[in-house]
């Protein structure tokens, strides 16, 4: 993925697409820097999580700019989030329904602790599901079964 981003960076620079060039430079820089830390981005799911984090930060910044009457800057943040979403959508991930099916298979009729359920489901899905989605689905299914048991 990093090699493809670098290639697209060169293409964006040649076409003069300043927004895409800036975003790709930042992204390539972040991934390259992460390789030198104790939490390198090695897998598609780690890159997916990094992109999701960038989208969340930009959405929060856009909200702040809009609240402080800076629609120009808010629009810029929204555009950058859209570019990040573009790259995030290229990473193949399991759908929520598939994850829910695996959670139900692992959970069965019991209500295991969240940490145990996450570990067991994580072993089954491997590196095909974003951690955030996995946690959300597991929590919601545990909450639903707990509410049903009451």
Q: In terms of domains, do 66 and 107 share one? A: no
User: What is the structure's pLDDT at 147?
Assistant: 66
Q: In terms of domains, do 83 and 123 share one? A: no
Segment (H or E) for 106: helix 96-107
User: What is the structure's pLDDT at 139?
Assistant: 92
Residue 146 phi/psi, 5-degree rounding, is -70, -45
Q: Is the pLDDT of residue 150 over 60?
A: no
Domain count, the chain: 2
39 three-state secondary structure: coil
User: What tokens does 143 get?
Assistant: 């909450």
Q: In terms of domains, do 22 and 56 share one? A: yes
Q: What is the pLDDT of residues 21-36, one digit of tens each?
A: 999 999 999 999 998 9
Which of 89, 115, 136 terminates a domain? The answer is 89
Range of the domain at 122: 96-149
100 close to 141: Cβ distance less than 8 angstroms = yes
**In CATH, what number is assigned to the domain containing residue 76?**
1.10.1510
Q: What is the pLDDT of residues 41-90, one digit of tens each?
A: 988 899 999 999 999 999 999 999 999 999 999 999 999 999 999 999 99
User: What is the structure's pLDDT at 38?
Assistant: 93
Q: In terms of domains, do 12 and 75 share one? A: yes
Q: In terms of domains, do 68 and 7 share one? A: yes
Give the whole-angstrom CA distance, residue 98 versus residue 84. 24
pLDDT tier, 149 (very low <50, low <70, confident <90, very high otherwise): low
Q: What is the pLDDT of residues 115-134, one digit of tens each?
A: 999 999 999 998 889 888 99
Q: In terms of domains, do 17 and 74 share one? A: yes
Q: Residue 54 half-sphere exposure, CB side, CA atoms within 13 Å? A: 23
Q: In terms of domains, do 74 and 103 share one? A: no
34 three-state secondary structure: helix
């Amino acid at each position: 993925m990093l090699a493809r981003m670098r290639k697209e960076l060169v293409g964006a620079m040649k076409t003069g697409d300043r927004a895409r060039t800036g975003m790709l430079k930042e992204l390539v820089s972040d991934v390259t820097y992460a390789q030198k830390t104790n939490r390198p981005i090695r897998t598609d799911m780690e890159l997916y999580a990094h992109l999701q984090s960038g989208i969340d930060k930009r959405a929060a910044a856009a909200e702040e700019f809009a609240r402080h009457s800076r629609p120009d800057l808010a629009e810029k943040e929204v555009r950058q989030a859209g570019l990040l979403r573009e790259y995030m959508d290229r990473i193949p991930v399991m759908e929520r329904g598939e994850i829910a099916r695996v959670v139900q298979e692992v959970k069965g009729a019991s209500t295991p602790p969240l940490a145990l359920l996450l570990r067991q489901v994580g072993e089954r899905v491997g590196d095909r599901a974003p951690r955030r989605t996995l946690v959300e689905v597991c929590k919601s299914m545990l909450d639903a079964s707990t509410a049903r048991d009451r």
